[in-house]
Structure 1
Amino acid sequence: MRYLKVVAQDRSGKGVADTLHFEFYEDGRLQRKATEADRQRLKAFGNTYLKCAWFNSGEEEARHLRIFSLNPSADGTPESVRLHFHEGPVIVYKAAAHDVDGDGELEVILSSDVDNDGRADRTDRRRVAALVREFLKIGF
């Protein structure tokens, strides 16, 4: 399975993430870290991810997102994009977008409180939809 791992860090100690790292994995192995060209393509994704407030203090990397798509029918379009928010090896919460009718559009958005404001609401679903949309643009 291929996935993008995103790590946000608050290196300045101001209580907000100020550094983002992107790593591309396949079958659990690091394939490469994001290049400058990747970072340009991931800019909108990163800005949306920062709104989720899932970051580490200092240099820590325990909190991270793993995002990946699934295409069990092998028709070339994802039927599902999944987001796993990790604290170390443990998945703390999940979100997903699904194409239920096979038309290439992800109609169903499932999410919990991905922006950590204490409510699972429409804003969380919009954030998940935006993350998925930007993830699919990078073609990973």
Structure 2
Amino acid sequence: MHFLKVIAQDRSGKGSADTVGFQFFEDEQLQREATDTDRQRLKSFGKTYLKCAWYNAGEGEERHLRIFSENPSADGSPETVRLHFHEGPTIAYKAAARDLDNDGVFELILSSDVDNDGRANRTDRSRVKALAKAFLKLDGR
């Protein structure tokens, strides 16, 4: 399984993330860091991710997102994009965007309070949907 690992950091100590890093993995093996070309394609993804307020103080990497797609029908078109928000090796919470009829549109968004504002609401679902769409564009689907 391949996934994108996203790590946000507050290196300035101002209480909000100021750096976002991207790493591409295959079966838990780091394949590569994001290139300048990748970073251009990940710009809107990064902006949306920063709104989730899931970041590390300093240069830590404990808090991170792992995002990946699943295609159980094996037709080449992902039915689900999963977001796992990690605190070290533990998944702190999850979210998912599902295309129930495989038409390229997410009909079901499952999420909790992904932006950490104390409320699980429409804003959280829209952020999950935006992250899932941006990931699929990056993933070439």
TM-score interval, smaller chain: over 0.9
Which residue of the partner structure matches residue 61 of structure 1? 61
State the TM-score, normalized to the length of structure 1: 0.98
Unaligned runs of 5+ in 2: none
Q: Aligned letter for 1:53? A: A
State the TM-score, normalized to the length of structure 2: 0.97
In the TM superposition, residue 53 of structure 1 has moved relative to its aligned partner by: 0.2
Separation in 2, partners of 1:37, 1:101: 33
Matching of residue 83 in structure 1 with residue 83 in structure 2 = yes
Separation in 2, partners of 1:138, 1:22: 12
Separation in 1, partners of 2:120, 2:139: 28
Unaligned runs of 5+ in 1: none
Q: Aligned letter for 1:41? A: R
In the TM superposition, residue 139 of structure 1 has moved relative to its aligned partner by: 1.8
Q: Aligned letter for 2:137? A: K
Separation in 2, partners of 1:46, 1:76: 26
| Superposed counterparts of 1:37-56, under 5 Å | 37-56=37-56
In the TM superposition, residue 102 of structure 1 has moved relative to its aligned partner by: 2.0
**What SS class does the counterpart of residue 54 from structure 1 fall into?**
coil
| Superposed counterparts of 1:1-140, under 5 Å | 1-139=1-139
In the TM superposition, residue 72 of structure 1 has moved relative to its aligned partner by: 1.1
Separation in 1, partners of 2:139, 2:25: 14
In the TM superposition, residue 73 of structure 1 has moved relative to its aligned partner by: 1.0
In the TM superposition, residue 104 of structure 1 has moved relative to its aligned partner by: 2.3
Q: Aligned letter for 1:78? A: P
In the TM superposition, residue 74 of structure 1 has moved relative to its aligned partner by: 1.2
Moved more, 95-104 or 41-50: 95-104
Separation in 2, partners of 1:116, 1:22: 21
Separation in 1, partners of 2:92, 2:139: 26
Runs of 4+ in 1 over 4 A off after TM superposition: none
Separation in 2, partners of 1:45, 1:103: 22
Separation in 2, partners of 1:135, 1:107: 17
Separation in 2, partners of 1:134, 1:41: 9
Number of aligned residue pairs: give it. 140
Q: Aligned letter for 1:94? A: K
